[in-house]
Structure 1
Amino acid sequence: MSSLDASKLFSVHGLVAVVTGGGTGIGLMIARALEHNGAKVYILGRREDVLKTAAKQNAIHGNIVPVVADVTDKASLEVVVSRISEETGYINLLVNNAGTLGRRHNAINRPPPFGNLPGQFVHANGEDDLSTVDGIRDFLWKDEVSDWDNTFRTNVSGIWFPSIAFLSLLNKGNEKQNVVQKSQIVTIGSVGAFIRLLGTSFTYNPSKAAANHLAKMMATNFVQWGIRSNVIAPGIFPSEMSVGQGKLDENNKNHIPMAIPVEEIPLGKAGDEEDIAAAILFLAGKGGKYVNGNVVVTDGGRLGIGPAVY
């Protein structure tokens, strides 16, 4: 018999989840939401001290487990998979959250009629004349191929290799049948995947577009084993990417205290923990069990005010 009780529709009780980049920002918000509602959550990242602080300060049931790992290193991923195989034998959910912004290009003005929008991060870098084509060319030519490689390595390869590493454990989650919903990969993308205006980086947006398409390909090709793949595409949320590294509070959280002009985000604010928690609890819980190959946008209306491909 079906239940319309919200506590059942969005329950993740008994779920076993892995969250990459789970020590700070959106990854930590997701880990907190899942663990608060009954899941066991392994948080992966490269900084052991950050992971341990996140687990200690945020696990209300003692079920956030810090694990040092590099999502772009196959040997590192194999060690994590082996550990979780021994401890639980399966997982129900993989959240691919680890990401990087890449080299910033935000000294460049936006084109008309968008150049006067607030929040465009325009500033003079003191080296290049960015009012001319030649100046723009010289500024952008400072990119190295490695800058682009590193961004795509984290934002695309860093989705693919964890997904493949945990594929068998996700399948075992289906065999375990500890929850009614099928196992799932949730990729944390970005509305940047759809935005044509330059925000901060020419490398970031196309890498997130690639991540979206990869997630959709996994939805199509892994469905034969009952393994789903969906995307959450956030707008601006407090994280080390939006606020800057080294600005964590005692609970590993970042903050965006100021209001954001409605010309930039129609709802006038950055997203908060409740916004991202609602999205992950919908997809991960029973209420989202019929969803596969979807992109859930949570951006305060940002995609509706400029050129985009959504």
Structure 2
Amino acid sequence: MRTIKLGSSSLEVPVVAVGCMRINAISKKEAERFVQTALEQGANFFDHADIYGGGECEEIFADAIQMNEAVREKIILQSKCGIREGRFDFSKEYILQSVDGILQRLKTDYLDVLLLHRPDALVEPEEVAEAFDLLESSGKVRHFGVSNQNPMQIELLKKFVRQPIVANQLQLSITNATMISSGINVNMENESAINRDGSVLDYCRLHDVTIQPWSPFQYGFFEGVFLGNDLFPELNKKIDELAEKYEVSNTTIAIAWLLRHPANMQPVIGTMNLKRLKDCCKASEIRLTREEWYEIYRAAGNILP
């Protein structure tokens, strides 16, 4: 598996992150096979969140991988906190409480990466900074990032937070590519020109923040996958054509499209299917041409001015 540096850190991570949000939907034996297959593919970066399965997913993962010191040294663990029932919470107390729960469920002493899950409208960045300092000094968290945040929200945190923001997990796929489209359609009077996220793509590139695309196969907000979907005939025709050319699956091409972008993104895949897991990992070996990348972009209905 090809690797990249996570943000401005020295942490080497595989270009494909393994999301564990659905690991509670499979059996214990299937979970064990899943994590072992990921490791065999070189995909040793596992993404979690304290709300996945109400915490159950982290517990299932720890059991499936048979967590111990030797195992822990071979994997990279990322989790997220900040979502509570009916509200978001970036208070110092809740961040610290959440991390303790995450570590207990994952059966480890530390997280490689902690992300703040969704922006808290009542965030007090001074409290976030205090929490991060305590987590870092205690050795409980080594690197910090955010999820679903725009540039100014990150800048507000950085006014007080000492640690580099190494990652920003954002919704991005071939069919959900507004952060790319707005940059292509600058100064145009069309829907694609609307800047909905404060130029977050360019911001992350400028400030060495790794974008982690979530739901890389989804269209809309969890409305379904675009692969093999009759709603996207031209897109699937183009993807299938390139899959045949490169002798890979359509899944591989969809991930390869994200990896082709020079921002050095790290897609977070959510499949629990072993074949699709392998197909996603295979994308690290494929480099689409500039022409192919734009062909896929346009086939999805995205326009060029």
Q: Which has the higher contact order (CA 8 A, sep 6+)?
A: 1
Judging by fraction of residues, say which structure has more strand.
Answer: 2
Q: With structure 1 as the length reference, what TM-score do the two structures score?
A: 0.38
Q: With structure 2 as the length reference, what TM-score do the two structures score?
A: 0.38
